[in-house]
Structure 1
Amino acid sequence: MLLLGIDLGTSSVKVSVVDVEKQQLVASAQYPETEAAIISLQTGWAEQSPEEWWQQTGHAIALCHKKGGYDPADITAIGIAYQMHGLVLVDKNQQVLRNSIIWCDSRAVEIGDKAFDEIGHEACLSHMLNSPGNFTASKLAWVKQNEPAVYEQIDKIMLPGDYIAMKLTGEITTSASALSEGIFFDFQFNGISKDVIEYFGFDDSLFPVMKPVFSAHGRVKPDVAAALKLTTGIPVTYKAGDQPNNALSLNVLKPGEVAATAGTSGVIYGVSDDLAYDPQSRVNTFAHVNYANDAKRLGVLLCINGTGSLYRWVKNAFAGNLTYQQMNAEAEKAPVGSNGLRIMPFGNGAERMLNNKQVGAHLHNIDLNLHTLAHIFRAGQEGIAAAFRYGLDIMRENGMNPTVIRAGKSNLFLSSLFTQSFVNATGVPVELYNNDGSMGAALGAGIGAEIFTPSEAFSNAKVIQRVEPQGDGFEETYQSWKGILQEHLSKLSS
């Protein structure tokens, strides 16, 4: 018996096939191999085509099948993870009305800020645990204000993973977790927020039926099954945003457990049972995958937009034909602190942890007689690690004090230099696992199909490496980096 996991990322779609009995990977593939484009029609805008997501999903599944080693007929359930906060709009014929406004798009910041003031800070924070900010609700309001002809045609609004499930099954569903990440969910009433709906003038009919994350979200249609070489009628039994799903894949389900990821964006995600919030909404609280009315499980999320995106820019701008592995090896040649070179990794939209300010990416203290490629590569990784420390200190202000952080050995955590810099910056050990989002989605499908319990799903998960803090002087590097950031923030506020 096999499970199929789909991870709809910003850069690509990755799929994995997992063996139920062993909870082990059978095959995986991603498409495209190069990073998918982000459409930016204006400064601060970021869009992608849902139709292209669907095409990429089909290509990734076909590539996975081509690798062999399994019979697609043995796949019995599907799970989906997806980039969070994106807005997908379809008409009554389930046709996409416009490109998706994705997570790092900044156009709705002012709309969200105004809603926060007019609904009331206390009402927003005590009921939604967040300000409307730049999340999905504010993006929908932007469409309503600026594209009324599009808005009038909307039958249903969705998150990106809901769209992939719709294409597979023809059914449209949502969950408390999905609604909360869009700032549509009222935690006091366990339903769609009347304050948000009434303030923005949204119609209740725009929202899909709400189901648990682990439940049947539809069954694969015959034509889709034939095209993807799957069995007609197999269910989609799990849908979750990429960060709750990353936490699931690391077995981070209980209060106090903490996960991290450092892909296109960087995230620290801790589980809590307390309906708490950051007064400035710099870190955000959403319903976790195992949230229930009688067992509150919240995910407290710190997001840094510019992590892998910053290192990709460094590669494109400076590395020539060097691979990421070669860049990492080169970075090891520079000393801790990169001889004073500092990089701010904030060039990918408004940063929530910086009060939705657009600080931009910057290189500081460049010495043309001293600094080499090695210094630039190292300063990039150190700047990202420093940004994680800055955000974790905000989480600590709000009662999240991890003693260990779990992460998958992927993306930036493939770099031993970055991993050690992250650990030294935060002062928290990291446990690394062989996992990824698509495998987590597959295991989530198994939980949703009641093939196994969460504890059974991760019974074979093993720590492959534990990295402890070292006294290497990174605190001095961090304080220097933080001083530069605060100077920028002060200028933006004046």
Structure 2
Amino acid sequence: MERYVIGVDLGTSAVKTVLVTREGKVAFEASESYPLHQPKPGYSEQDPEDWVEGTVASLRKLVAEAGIQTDRVDGISFSGQMHGLVLTDAMGQVLRRAILWNDTRTTEQCRRIEATLGPKLLDIARNRALEGFTLPKLLWVQEHEPELLKQAAHFMLPKDYVRYRLTGELASEYSDAAGTLLLDVTGKNWSEEIAAAFDLPLSLCPPLVESFDQTGGLLPEMAARTGLAEGTPIYAGGADNACGAIGAGILSEGQTMCSIGTSGVVLSYEERKNLDIEGRAHFFNHGEKDAYYIMGVTLAAGYSLTWFRETFASGQPFEELLAQAEGVRPGSGGLLFTPYIVGERTPHPDSQIRGSFIGMDASHKLPHFTRAVLEGITFSLRESIDILWSTGKEVTEVVSIGGGARSELWLQMQADVFNATVIKLESEQGPALGAAMLAAYGCGWFDSLQSCAQVFIRPAKRYIPSEEAVRQYEGLFSLYREVYHATRSLNDQLSEYR
């Protein structure tokens, strides 16, 4: 009789659950959405109870639609949106809405962290202080809601809170903890030095475990509500990007992933714990034991294309828009686009920079602009590839997932701009599949994540770089890299008119 694992992906807009067989086939999937609260400009919050109710409803729907016996599920694990701050009291009650990864209220707190810690921040946490991270959020609460922080017994990250509600056991794992700025990333423990520097008790931090460690079983009440068996083993899981990497098979040295969704991510597996990338990209713990990943982020990747279509080609299907761009040669007729429409992250952590079209003339039509947007997004991701190359890493193959993997034009463009073979997967479930793989490994189906990946993940097609297009894109990429510096001062001056 078939046995299953379940992967739960707790996103910003919805939770997705997948039921996966021992052969890696997604037998059923379900999802539930929940609201986002933005009470002030720059604020982004959610009610953690909405995550719990959404997860319970999605699991109930998944089990009901699959029609499986409750004891056929061998394990459940999680992927979750990173950085979000959940504060709970000694009884586990939530004290305020969660402050999310895309909340930007904490610029002053980031500057305070930098001034207080100086170079120790990169030495210990291995990442720059950015508004999205958890420590700046804790400091904001400390400054603006001090009485509330005094009531707090623990902080949790989003998926960890949902798992706590399902099991009653408190835990965090390294891949998500790495995004707090409170973790000694290579030492794999909470940093007493960082916590003490800001008068934060280390007791706020939950116990640390590996991503594939069991963290309890399903509570009787939650078993009744979901239709699953009481005591179903639950495993810690990982941050969404770590689980996305696992779900794409990025599990050994030299493997690299490009994920193009609303934002864009270039992520590469790394084993060199003392590698110093000087904060030019993120350096986080992987879901694989004693491994890491380097990650660069383009804030507005797919979002740039969505914005462009809504603004200049409203109602036109993406497929039609991209089909027209296929008739335009690489270089878009001398037109360059920079996708800085909401600021940028890698290699320029700059919230004030804005996008540009450079080189417009009367010969350019809609297809030229569409292709220029695709090329600009891909050039931005190439800057993260360059950071990987600068560490001595060879990038000869890139697994492409997300919206950028749904277009033949864009897949070939990635191969040409990255000068690397680009691989499209047969079936792509992203972080949810990575979470299911952690459960499959945790419950003993496989002796390693790599052996699980060999069964669960299958390449569908390879895109080989064209020598002619590579040469052309190398020249255009050199020009693209100049645009940021050429327009930085102009954008500062224009910000007065926004």
Matches for 1:328-339 after TM superposition, within 5 Å? 328-339=322-333
Tell me which of 363, 367, 392 is aligned to 1:374: 367
Counterparts of 1:403 and 1:308 in 2: how far apart (Å)?
Answer: 24
- Report the count of equivalent residues: 483
- Closer, same or farther in 2 for the Cα pair 1:314/1:178, shift >3 Å? same
Counterpart position of 2:30? 29
Matches for 1:66-145 after TM superposition, within 5 Å? 67-68=65-66, 70-121=68-119, 123-134=120-131, 135-145=133-143
SS of 1:326's equivalent? Answer: helix
1:10–1:264 contact (8 Å) kept in structure 2 = no
Answering whether residue 459 of structure 2 is matched by residue 466 of structure 1, we say: no
Matches for 1:214-363 after TM superposition, within 5 Å? 214-278=212-276, 280-292=278-290, 297-348=291-342, 351-363=345-357
Question: In structure 1, what residue type is equivalent to 2:461?
Answer: Q
Counterpart position of 2:376? 383
2:56–2:222 contact (8 Å) kept in structure 1 = no
Counterparts of 1:373 and 1:38 in 2: how far apart (Å)?
Answer: 34
After TM superposition, give the deviation of residue 465 of structure 1 in Å: 0.9
SS of 2:236's equivalent? Answer: strand
- Closer, same or farther in 2 for the Cα pair 1:229/1:373, shift >3 Å? farther
Counterparts of 1:113 and 1:279 in 2: how far apart (Å)?
Answer: 21
Per-residue deviation, residues 410-462 of structure 1 (Å, max 9, x unmatched): 32211122222222211121122123221221111111122222233122232
2:259–2:400 contact (8 Å) kept in structure 1 = yes
After TM superposition, give the deviation of residue 354 of structure 1 in Å: 0.7
Question: In structure 1, what residue type is equivalent to 2:298?
Answer: I
- Closer, same or farther in 2 for the Cα pair 1:276/1:352, shift >3 Å? farther
1:106–1:350 contact (8 Å) kept in structure 2 = no
5+ residue gaps, structure 1, are: none
SS of 1:217's equivalent? Answer: strand
- Closer, same or farther in 2 for the Cα pair 1:360/1:98, shift >3 Å? farther
SS of 1:218's equivalent? Answer: strand
Matches for 1:416-427 after TM superposition, within 5 Å? 416-427=408-419
1:7–1:15 contact (8 Å) kept in structure 2 = yes
After TM superposition, give the deviation of residue 40 of structure 1 in Å: 4.1
Counterparts of 1:482 and 1:38 in 2: how far apart (Å)?
Answer: 35
CA RMSD of aligned residues (A): 2.6
5+ residue gaps, structure 2, are: 494-498
SS of 1:346's equivalent? Answer: coil
2:86–2:98 contact (8 Å) kept in structure 1 = yes
Counterparts of 2:324 and 2:93 in 1: how far apart (Å)?
Answer: 48
SS of 2:303's equivalent? Answer: helix
Question: In structure 2, what residue type is equivalent to 1:125?
Answer: L
Counterpart position of 1:13? 15
- Closer, same or farther in 2 for the Cα pair 1:38/1:339, shift >3 Å? farther
After TM superposition, give the deviation of residue 161 of structure 1 in Å: 1.3
Question: In structure 1, what residue type is equivalent to 2:453?
Answer: F
After TM superposition, give the deviation of residue 203 of structure 1 in Å: 1.0
- Closer, same or farther in 2 for the Cα pair 1:104/1:341, shift >3 Å? farther
Q: Which moved more, 1:324-333 or 1:172-181?
A: 324-333
Counterparts of 2:473 and 2:67 in 1: how far apart (Å)?
Answer: 46
SS of 2:483's equivalent? Answer: helix
Counterparts of 1:321 and 1:388 in 2: how far apart (Å)?
Answer: 28
TM-score where L is the length of structure 1: 0.89
Counterpart position of 1:482? 481
- Closer, same or farther in 2 for the Cα pair 1:477/1:69, shift >3 Å? farther
Per-residue deviation, residues 87-141 of structure 1 (Å, max 9, x unmatched): 22223343333333222333324422432332231x2222222233332112211
TM-score where L is the length of structure 2: 0.89
Per-residue deviation, residues 169-221 of structure 1 (Å, max 9, x unmatched): 22221122222221211246431112210112111121111111111112212
After TM superposition, give the deviation of residue 279 of structure 1 in Å: 5.3
Counterpart position of 2:399? 406
1:14–1:438 contact (8 Å) kept in structure 2 = yes
Counterparts of 2:4 and 2:317 in 1: how far apart (Å)?
Answer: 34
After TM superposition, give the deviation of residue 223 of structure 1 in Å: 1.9
Counterparts of 2:370 and 2:53 in 1: how far apart (Å)?
Answer: 34
Counterparts of 1:265 and 1:208 in 2: how far apart (Å)?
Answer: 29
Q: Among the aligned pairs, what percent are the same residue?
A: 26
Q: Which moved more, 1:260-269 or 1:352-361?
A: 352-361
Counterparts of 1:304 and 1:185 in 2: how far apart (Å)?
Answer: 24
